[in-house]
Structure 1
């Protein structure tokens, strides 16, 4: 209680200071001047649909011109849902599930059943690969984008799950001075300050600062912790031809980690799963902390050579450090619930990514045919030092858990350091043929090297990207595309006999046919058929994480986002997929669904602004994930689930300042469900949570 009062007092003090500074700047602090009249309406300043994407070779392109499935979760959607986690944002896009972990520490995510690689598939501002081993904060992000499928042309060795790109907030033409307070019924609370300004005689300097500090509590047993964020986005328009951007962010999260539940052993080829535990259950102790911090730095400069040509250079560095006491409950009796809690200790783990990119881009205009060309080079180096210590076992019970006394590492930490160098030259030519046809031709020449103390892989190759688009009218596009990608096949996780081992890189191929249309007041509709083949992995009889031939993922994906009317906005998605493993030499997995892969998902979130009550908006969301196998042999499936979210927010004016009060209820039915599977682990979905938000704009 004392901590919560302290947080509230600090927030009010900061709000008063910001208000005073804002008033002095605008002259509103003078007593003989009246406050301006502010009219509050139910209309929004943002949209559920984005006008551009900033990912891959499609940077700053309209979504309707992107010949590949892409989804954007805008700031307006994030605010309407009060989302602060990556999975919270991505649940609005088709085929997204959690993998292995329940989300108490960070979001391990799969798209279309394919794991989103944590060290290379998450990008900042379309470029820097940041390390998703700590909850990536969204408070300083303008939107979250997903480019689904193979993306090697621009990003090198990445799996074809897709690229998750986070675009940072930047200073705009209007000053920003916002303070937000958020709290939940379990005692979690945080303060968020968002400040943005432009300076200079020509407004050539821009600064956007976001600060977050708070206490974490998500309603499960034996849980406590805190998190923080400090970020800055700076830009300088040095001249009409030269500009610079700099992004800095540092965030930390130190919380108790919920224990995972291991999948029971098969009996006669069948696995019997326990009933879903209570969603507030945590078999680990509060002392089993996950303490991680991350620092990301990205610099970019653009130079205009001529009316049609320009240069871009980017350099960035991402670093994450982590201490962890990860535990999994295993070898338990389904009748009595008695089993073993195994804890894996990690201390001083380090990951670092360095990334450089240079591009020459331009147009060759013509009367009938125009070429938009990009010549680029990217160099990426990723190093890791995942130090771990042998596990320790203690008795625990699934049905009547006992308190776990604090355990300590008893031997030296072992490590298998690794270094990956991923360099590439790429060329793309977007050919505009009249007003109705577009063709994109691209190729990447890659050089890849992966080295550990025990393994070394090298790979070179050319990967093409081809697409053809037809626009019968301006607001409709029909496209077909073929892409090839190179990918790292993965690294053996901590609970496998070959923990830390890097598997050989592999080739993935993707074919896609799709249609996009903008209708009504600005709704973007998307429909696509995709067919992806890639290397499959499995766990062998010796508990080793190994390659297992190919897997094929094919299906139809649908999406809609935008404003139906001035009062009604929505974002919706659906996936209908057929996924199979194709290794005929392994009879146990041939023709089976890859683990943790749902063949059906759907989501719908909408918000309605009431005309009868200006400033009042009501919202609701439905999120469905279908059945998923717990392993590649399909010896058991976790049931599908649907969660419900409800929300209300009201915009008003207090003391001349625009103020928003909001309440959001996630998992409104308080459903118990298996939220995650994969890698032999199960996780339980979060309990019902009521979030209360107050936001003031100065």
Structure 2
């Protein structure tokens, strides 16, 4: 038995809740994993997914600028919005609306292939959001936050335990607010209502229920489309003013999501347990997406094309049952997991036509409101992903661990025009050596399966699903806990996966393999009693390997930086009890705009500064905070991919106050 303690408000966590590594210490995870704790989120006043994930190496925006939701890539590989985002390690939630963080305890990222536990998902990584739950101590807090552009949010967080033995727990979070991110012709609002309930029915039987409903109705910033190539090169405009919006305020992105997850745990004996999980996620949206295209770099004159989408729906239904336990031995101990998952994903992507209107990149004009003029074109699709998996983590004495697992998957994908069905068996193998209790060295090999992608709406084969394919990953790494409790990680990885490209007919197609290999570094925790930090760096070498396509062979996949880095630190002044000062640097290197590398957007570094002061007012613990993001007001291209460019946000001052009752 291992007993560990963690100071309240740590930058480091003692366990992860993702994949087959649930409740495992980070040192014992033979794969790169990063955790952004609640304390980091609070110190940065982070309320968006990218705001949290920028603290982990290799994370970049993809395709969209983030005015509505965060579309991200890890190590240059897109994080699939319907399979790679998980709630409490299980339910695949749909990242097509900003996922709120106010009711989350932490955000975890398991880098690389994860098919053993999660089925058909790309090897970018799993982003897991862990909800707050009732603790032994009651929680009652109320917070207000605002920025200089007029955004304002109110948040209530209430947690209690009930019953003679405190066997019932409830954590309620309520959020409402007005949205403004500092760009022209932008307005909106968002809300969240969530409940995390638990009940320890008996010594052996327990239940957990998570319910969350959130909505967001905001103006969507127009994307800037790439110009056609000339002589093998694409000319890019100068980075526009960060506050400029080529779309109209009425061009809204109105979405809502409901997620429900039930988990039941039953202890069969002192060493064996079984769990059952069932969950449902549903997202609906109406969208007026616009892209600025066919423009003159000299005059700025071009065309704004707006697409109407009404009544779009996505639903995920997920079931998991799992038996796990331990077989002890004198020098060899087995920790066995046997499980089955079923995930059904249904979508109905409706299109209601489009319209074109003149616009100017340098002097935008307001766009008069328009409405859909054609009947909706339906594009239903469904995915059925089922799999059995088994894993054995073998402890050989106190220093060695061998982890071996295999998954058998049955996959079926159907659209109006295509259908794929496949069966795959994929292994996972890892060996770990712990020369000291606070150091682990590991090597792993994992095979994953993925869907290869679906043709985006701006391609000639929009909605078409590409054939499933296998990704292979090798990784070696070392992890150690040093100083006052800093987790340090270093890893080398090598991933080969299917590549995609846009052909001459504007079709989204498979393009052979691509290889992503490099070094990743990370550190998080308390360096001293006064100084906490979280930092990361990625050194990546990625190239496409399809010799049959001379235009892309040997080139870097689109939107893939060779370097990224981040460092955020907070110092608690001993001279002024309760006062903490913080600062962060977030760097993303140069990235090609397409797979043929016909142009690149420059790298950028943003600076964040912050201060928070904890005191007592009228006997209540009160936190006052100010955070300045993009403190230098840098103008930069924040994203590329799928033929689009996106602009980074302007300098933003956020102020907040929280009272704990």
Is 1:99 paired with 2:77? no
3-state DSSP of counterpart to 1:676: strand
1:538 aligns with 501
Which of 34, 39, 46 is matched with 1:71 structurally? 34
Q: CA deviation at 1:416?
A: 1.3
1:578 aligns with 541
Is 1:221 paired with 2:174? no
3-state DSSP of counterpart to 2:42: helix
Q: CA deviation at 1:415?
A: 1.6
Distance 1:491 1:393 in 2: 25
2:239 aligns with 276
Distance 1:315 1:268 in 2: 54
Post-superposition Cα deviations, 1:91-131, rounded to whole Å, max 9, x if no partner, equal: 00000000000000000000000000000000000000000
1:178 aligns with 141
1:662 aligns with 625
Which of 635, 644, 648 is matched with 1:681 structurally? 644
Distance 2:66 2:185 in 1: 15
Distance 2:451 2:135 in 1: 39
Q: CA deviation at 1:407?
A: 1.6
Is 1:568 paired with 2:531? yes
Which of 400, 410, 418 is matched with 1:455 structurally? 418
Distance 2:106 2:618 in 1: 30
Q: CA deviation at 1:45?
A: 2.5
2:311 aligns with 348
Which of 338, 343, 347 is matched with 1:375 structurally? 338
Which of 601, 605, 616 is matched with 2:568 structurally? 605
TM-score, length basis structure 1: 0.94
Distance 2:12 2:267 in 1: 30
Distance 1:495 1:344 in 2: 10
Post-superposition Cα deviations, 1:327-386, rounded to whole Å, max 9, x if no partner, equal: 000000111111000001100000000000000100000000000000000000000001
Q: How many residues align?
A: 656
1:166 aligns with 129
Q: CA deviation at 1:553?
A: 0.1
1:491 aligns with 454
1:429 aligns with 392
Distance 1:638 1:241 in 2: 56
TM-score, length basis structure 2: 0.99
Distance 2:432 2:599 in 1: 42
Distance 1:561 1:500 in 2: 41
Is 1:517 paired with 2:480? yes
Q: CA deviation at 1:390?
A: 2.3
Distance 1:44 1:560 in 2: 17
Distance 2:422 2:483 in 1: 49
2:3 aligns with none
Distance 1:575 1:190 in 2: 35
Distance 1:53 1:341 in 2: 45
Which of 152, 166, 176 is matched with 1:189 structurally? 152
Distance 1:554 1:407 in 2: 47
Post-superposition Cα deviations, 1:397-453, rounded to whole Å, max 9, x if no partner, equal: 001111111121111111210010000000000000000000000000000000111
1:248 aligns with 211
Distance 2:136 2:351 in 1: 49
Distance 1:596 1:582 in 2: 17
Distance 1:99 1:495 in 2: 15
3-state DSSP of counterpart to 2:39: helix
Q: Which runs of 5+ in 1 are unaligned?
A: 1-42
Distance 2:358 2:616 in 1: 57
Which of 634, 648, 651 is matched with 1:671 structurally? 634
1:645 aligns with 608
Distance 1:499 1:290 in 2: 20
3-state DSSP of counterpart to 1:79: helix
Q: CA deviation at 1:44?
A: 7.2
Distance 1:136 1:69 in 2: 23
Runs (4+) off by over 6 Å: none
Distance 2:92 2:8 in 1: 31
